[in-house]
Amino acid sequence: MREVININNNWKFHKGGSGIKTPPKKAGKNWENVKIPHTWNNKDGQDGGSDFWRGKGWYIRDINVDIDFTQRVYLEFRGVSMLAEVYVNGAKVYTHKGGFSTFRVNITPFLKKNKATIAVMADNSADTQIYPQNADFTFFGGIYRAVNLIIVKSSHFDLDYYGSPGIAVTPIVNQDGTADVKVQAYLKNASGCMVRFKTAGTNKISTDGKASLHIKEPHLWNGTDDPYLYEMTAELIKNGSVVDCVTQKYGIRSFSVDAEKGFFLNGKSYPLHGVSRHQDRLDKGWAITKEDHKQDMELIKEVGANTIRLAHYQHDQYFYDLCDEAGMVVWAEIPFISEFMNTPTAEFNTLSQMKELIIQNYNHPSIVCWGIANEITIGGVSDELFKNLRALNDLCHQLDKTRLTTIANLGAVEPDSPMNRITDLVSYNHYFGWYLGSVEDNGPWLDEFHRMNPDICLGLSEYGCEGIPAYHSDNPQIKDYSEEYQAYYHEKMLKTLSERPYLWSTHVWNMFDFASDIRDEGGVKGRNNKGLVTYDRKIKKDSFYIYKAFWSGEKFVHLCGRRFADRTNETISVKVYSNCESVTLFENGEEIETKNADKIFIFENIKLKKGENIFRAVSGKCEDEITLHLTDTPNNGYSFTDSSVSPDTDVSNWFEK
């Protein structure tokens, strides 16, 4: 039977290739002891300067396995950035191009007495063959996801097929309410074998690795309301014995998108409102743990999102599992982003990464669409670009006939552009109210696009603005980077989006601040600060709570401005975000006023006394408290000033610089 052994521990690491013979036979004296997940850019990739180290890093460790001649040993890598070369006992056995997908290597022929020295070269250098190479996020190097040994019999579920889990499960909901679950196994050395498929109390024996199982009363996977999951177990039987077994969770659901009415799940309107997510963390880069993934999901659930755009690359399998379990509707995409590299090898790399994304994630019920590109027209359009995009779109439909394709277009793409006629769905990255114009421009633009293209399913794949928790203002303005302007912007956007049911999905950019070493904005180097939550996940900005008020059913009250503690105005307005019907405000223990409002409660003309003022907002069992100080001296730390930015110009986007 299959055995999976994690080998994250006991690796030696050396950054750089100087003085290293290829491949190294053993670690040098100056090599570090490291544990996977690991990256060499966890600090320099987040400090700005566009100078994070890009190059080769070497990893090495010994393994010792107990196998016989009927068994095979595979190395499984869940993520190595961006180019990986694998050596076993000095022999080069595999090269993988792509920093985000699982790949496996059959090392059985290279073992010596069941022992081996494994050497891995990870390279995040600039490379015109591998996407991405230019984007608004840091390309962290290293073996940053788990490494496993997988031991199987010579007859087994295929471990070589693009990192596949071994079976592909396709649930189909019938018009009579029943479901047929089609399943296909990918097999290796399976002559004379049979496969037994088992799910939902039924089973079927197959001689060709394919089967269809009927479920009379399926329990549907129904988003965040009821994300019910089934299990499909496949047993490979040879000479009457089970020689390999895999189990995959799946969900039974149907979905559709209407250009006028938006997204439907299981035949019912299900408006998609959610966030985008990058996978990095403060001082960790991409080398994050299961606990980090869990915390991210808990925060996304708390804000009340029901959809996640997993940008701009394939994420960890564990996070897709969490999406399935939480009922999140997912947009999954490849890093065909920003800069089109017009070469045959680069085009092949986009197709290869798309194959891995789809084949490895096919069974996740959370995923409803495959994203083929993001802002790929930054450098202009060409016939070669359209050819590459169409090839990706066709590949998606060839590999998966059950899901839709989408693209995230740059805001500058005109509504009548042929870029909007390639994929099944279209979304835009629009930043009216930050990079150009005002936040009020979003609605008219969306309406005009919809008028011009009534047959196109339109969404908003990115929108947002910077909000740095250190900066505050009584009169928030665009470009002041204040927490208050970010909250104001999102208040306006929530109203704009709620009035346009034709949008098939909307995704805030971003759920979390993330590293972008090219950036130096608002006095913060190396950071994109558009998150609703800070990079270290410790601060939920005020904007987090306006979304929670609109999206979440969990009753709460939140007093805004807790980090805007020092005030110089004797009379202020106090703002509360809540999904309760009424909120009562107390100041220094004295009841001030009870208000009824919809999500945003503003208490005006509140007098402050010198020194400390304690405010408490209460609605039933929900309450929140902040302390403000009336002072004669302004807190200069609340303002960001940059003499290089004119007050009558817009914030520059990263690629304009």
By annotation, the residues acting in catalysis are 375
Residue 332 burial (CB count, 10 A)? 26
CB neighbour list of residue 240: distance below 8 Å, 6 or more residues apart: none
User: Buried b vs exposed e over 162-174: b needs ≥16 C-beta within 10 Å?
Assistant: bbbbbbbbbbebe
The token pair that represents 572 in the structure block? 């202020």
Residue 407 burial (CB count, 10 A)? 29
Residue 650 burial (CB count, 10 A)? 16
The token pair that represents 30 in the structure block? 């100056």
DSSP state of 510: -
CA distance 528 to 512: 9
CA distance 457 to 264: 12
CA distance 471 to 489: 15
Sheet holding 194-199, edge to edge: 202-206, 194-199, 230-238, 241-250
φ, ψ for residue 301 (rounded to 5)?
Answer: -65, -40
The token pair that represents 61 in the structure block? 């460790």
CA distance 270 to 88: 51
Instruction: Say whether 322 sits in a helix, a strand or coil.
Output: helix
CB neighbour list of residue 453: distance below 8 Å, 6 or more residues apart: 415, 416, 420
Amino acid symbol at 464? G
Residue 225 burial (CB count, 10 A)? 12
Find the angle CA(49)-CA(50)-CA(51) to the nearest 5 degrees.
Answer: 85
DSSP state of 599: S
Identify the H or E element spanning 237: strand 230-238
CA distance 612 to 610: 7
Q: How far is CA 428 from CA 112, 388, 419, 445, 466, in A?
A: 54, 20, 11, 11, 18
Residue 646 burial (CB count, 10 A)? 9
DSSP state of 399: H
